[in-house]
Structure 1
Amino acid sequence: MGKQTAHHSSETAFVRPKTAQQAVFEALRHEITTGERSPGSVIVQDAVAEKFNVSRIPIREALKRLEAEEYVSYAPHMGYRVTKLTVDELAEVFHLRDVLEAELIRDAMPKVTGEDITQMREAMAEMDEAAKDADLIALGVANRRFHELTFARSSMERTKRIVAQLWNTADAYRPLYAELMDMSKVNTEHVLITEAMAERDTDRVIALNHEHRKRSIDHIREALAE
């Protein structure tokens, strides 16, 4: 029995090196979510291959994965582009998130722990630091983590995957409206959501989440109008 245990621990300690496909996937996703590649921009595979000094095979695989996660879209004879949505399509994405996250929050709430609340506060602190450094990427990551913690305890895994895809679809637009966000207002709303979570007030968390998201849609409409 002792030998089996030792063998198991050595297996779990093993860390697989990053593949070329994974490296390209992460690099392209980073460029999309930071606005370096804007919505609708064409992704030229030869140029990507030259930039990252890899063959086209890992690029094709990375692009298929990005397509599955809705960061990019493919059209015959046109190739891959960063997913571009109209204002109405973006509003639909945010509306779907609103509806589905409400269900996830209802399912998660009875299982929420004190540790979840602590992690939400930590995510808020990370957002504060990122805002001071004007680091939009870190800000976006911490913001997403904060919101995912409101429903992390839900057992509705399929719904969580759909919500993750909806987040991905809108990620490319975050740099466009980030400057319009009033961070002090965002922080206040996050504090209120956290307090409602700590009190296990499901309806209040959902209502606050709804108002919070509605403001994001208003910002998107304003940014795209410009």
Structure 2
Amino acid sequence: MAQTYRTKREKVYLSLQDKIIKGVLRPGTRLIISNLAKQFDVSEIPVREAIQTLAHEGYVSITPHSGATVSSMSEDDIRQIFEIRINLESLASRLAVDHLSNSHIKTLYQMIEDSKNFLHNQDLQGYGEFNRAFHDCIYQHANNQRLFTMISELWDFSTRYPAFFSSLQDIENSIREHKEIVDALNDKNADLVEKLMRDHTRDVYHKIIRLVQQENNE
């Protein structure tokens, strides 16, 4: 019985978290426990506990007598996240230099070639999903699971803007920067890898800040 109950809570939690991260549930959306219980075909208890977990992680805001809503992200939230991301991702990239084999480098180059299909097909959303896979492929080879886990959690918070890649020019710029990073990895130039990833992540920060400002002004 306990295992079934826990599975229901996790099912609700993971589904809601995924929808928040992907922007399906936008900031300010009310999360009505009774409606969600019917939607997931569970009692209200696992829904309530899932929402409490999401609130603890910052995805949801709970106001007494008003209920739960998907939390908004302020410019200061983004600043705090990216101050950490910029440093952790540049560190992970530097560490990966010593652990990426020639085979891994070839895989990264192939990923870059494959990513051009998103450009040709004008698939902005698909490229966004690919972009994370590309970065994960580098960070996973830092030989530091704790570091990779922290980066993944921070990515979840900062990818709540599905329109991040909003033009073909955005994709072109991203592909070019990815190529520069992999070239530096191939050359085993740890200092350059760290600098390029730091600049790359900082550019992402500035783009998301503009999206947040635009959203707040609407």
2:37 is matched with 49
Corresponding residue to 2:178 among 190, 194, 199: 190
Q: Does 1:178 align with 2:157?
A: no
TM superposition shift of 1:133: 5.7
Q: Does 1:223 align with 2:206?
A: no
1:113 is matched with 101
1:23, 1:91 → 2: CA distance? 31
Instruction: Assess, with a 3 A threshold, how the Cα gap between structure 1 residues 24 and 134 changes in structure 2: closer, same or farther.
Output: farther
2:73 is matched with 85
TM superposition shift of 1:170: 0.9
8 Å CA contact 1:109, 1:151 repeated in 2: no
Structure 2 alignment gaps of length 5 or more: 1-6
Corresponding residue to 1:33 among 21, 24, 29: 21
Q: Secondary structure at the match of 2:27?
A: coil
Instruction: Assess, with a 3 A threshold, how the Cα gap between structure 1 residues 31 and 86 changes in structure 2: closer, same or farther.
Output: same
Superposition pairs of residues 50-199 of structure 1, within 5 angstroms: 50-67=38-55, 70-74=58-62, 76-125=64-113, 127-130=115-118, 132=121, 134=123, 136=125, 138-172=126-160, 174-179=161-166, 182-199=170-187
Amino acid across the alignment from 1:179: S
Amino acid across the alignment from 1:134: D
TM-score, normalised relative to structure 1? 0.75
TM-score, normalised relative to structure 2? 0.77
Query: What number of residue pairs does the alignment pair up?
Result: 207
Q: State, as a whole percentage, how many aligned pairs show the same letter.
A: 25
Instruction: Assess, with a 3 A threshold, how the Cα gap between structure 1 residues 102 and 31 changes in structure 2: closer, same or farther.
Output: same
Instruction: Assess, with a 3 A threshold, how the Cα gap between structure 1 residues 77 and 205 changes in structure 2: closer, same or farther.
Output: farther
TM superposition shift of 1:41: 2.9
8 Å CA contact 2:93, 2:197 repeated in 1: no
TM superposition shift of 1:68: 5.9
The C-alpha deviation readout for 1:134-174, integer Å capped at 9, x for no partner, is 351x43332112112222122333332222221111121x2
